[in-house]
Amino acid sequence: MFESSTYEVRQKISIGSKYVVYEEDDTAGDETPILSAKKKKFKLKEDFRLDDYETGEERFRVKADSVLDVSAAYDIVDSQTGDRVGAVKRGAFSFAKHTYQLLGPNGSVVGRIVEDNVPMAVARRFITTLIPFSYRVENAAGDPVGAIDEAFSLRDTYSIDVDRDEIDPRLLVVGAVVIDAIEEN
């Protein structure tokens, strides 16, 4: 699990938000489901789990550090080891273009997830959420190290590419699911 540089997240139809994360085999090109997640609607303080797809055993726990998600950091913990993988924190609020900080285990900024161009972002908010989103992933220095791109569909399906030497794929993949769940894209 988390040996690849390419992943896909598919949102399933259910009450609340349900996701399945697939890992692509970099050599064979096959996809294997690795995680499933379900976020319940109407929770004041976000707290949800990502489980091993096959065993159902909890693999990651995500918990908001505050009730108001505008300023919350979403801590990501490896449930197997109890170690903090990192956190995702919404950057300075902008209706036109969302930015999230990726924080490492010690709380320092290791990267950012930055929404694509402003006209597309505004169109998604004012016209329709059916316009696919895309984010660029940057390291702490602002260099591109990955991307999150949505395919056109009624339920969210998006691919995640990451330079494994720059960003922990667990942080980026779980962080992308968190962003999708809190944004309710």
140-163 average pLDDT score: 87
pLDDT tens, 7-60? 999 987 666 678 999 999 877 778 999 999 986 654 545 678 999 999 999 999
Between 43 and 159, residue with greater pLDDT? 159
DSSP category for residue 16: S
Structure confidence by residue, pLDDT tens digits, 92-125: 665 567 889 999 999 999 999 998 776 666 666 6
User: Measured between alpha carbons, how far is 112 from 36 in angstroms, rounded to an integer?
Assistant: 24
DSSP 97-163: --EEEEE-TTS-EEEEEEE--HHHHHHHHHT-TTSPPEEEEEETTS-EEEEEEEPSSSS-EEEEEE-
Mean of per-residue pLDDT scores for the chain: 84
